[in-house]
Amino acid sequence: MSDILDQILARKHEEISALRARTTLDTLHKQAELAGPVRGFAAALKRRAENGASVIAEIKRASPSKGLIRADFDAAWLAQEYDRGGAACLSVLTDRDYFQGGNEYLIAARAACALPVIRKDFLIDEWQIVEARAIGADCVLLIAAALSASRLRELHHCARTLGLDVLVEIHDGAELDQVLSADLGHDYLLGINNRNLRSFETRLETTLDLLHRLPPGAEVVTESGIATSADVQRMLAAGVKRFLVGESLMRQPSPAAALQVLIG
């Protein structure tokens, strides 16, 4: 399989150039100021984790590896379903070319419920971070595989200055070392993606094998491959209480009912 991540990042540079051409950073900052207060993404996850599984439920129409996931796609309805099913937070894909997402889906999902929302995209520039707050995001994703340690630190600082929470995503031990060297303190959520972004192979052991290397107090989110209640129980037994779940819920007639079964 070709290196999908490199293809996506090349496209992101084009999108950033287009964003810079159609607006100004000052305009984006003004829009961010008008977006209203953040809803506290990390705090919502923490509250729910005190009583068991705390789920970030993902609104994702398609993916490069699986193609179209849900044809009858309605971001607002999905947000309400996830809220009714017991999600702590929402994740909304805004990448258009590879995941058939869009900023408009995040706006619609956040308006449809009271849950905090993360902008799920490949963010490599401050302009994208400010844009995330301008469209109402409460948290942003920073993917270690796409960033140097110094760039990770700069984007993390930009997000926190705007009041956004940050989910930093890793896939292996080398990326964990990179994140730790960025010296972010404890001011972030650490996502461990069980799906390799280069090959798209998925293994739950990716999370489990890295747990012993994490700093004390790390707020871990296990991502991808969580499909059954047995998967959830396996993670809970290992001390992992935060989950990002998308595809297994998106394919169900009632995502709310599926989420309730998943988390018990």
Catalytic positions are: 58, 60, 120, 169, 193, 223-224
**Spatial contact of 161 and 198, defined as CB atoms under 8 Å apart:** no
At residue 13, φ and ψ (nearest 5 deg) are -60, -40
User: How many residues are recorded in the chain?
Assistant: 264
**Spatial contact of 141 and 192, defined as CB atoms under 8 Å apart:** no
Question: Which alpha helices (DSSP H) does 39-187 contain, by range?
Answer: 41-49, 75-85, 103-111, 126-134, 149-161, 173-181
Give Rg (Cα) of the chain.
Answer: 17
Q: How do strand 67-68 and strand 62-63 relate by DSSP bridges? A: antiparallel
Residue 36: left if φ>0, alpha if ψ -120 to 50, beta else—which one?
Answer: left
At residue 34, φ and ψ (nearest 5 deg) are -90, 0
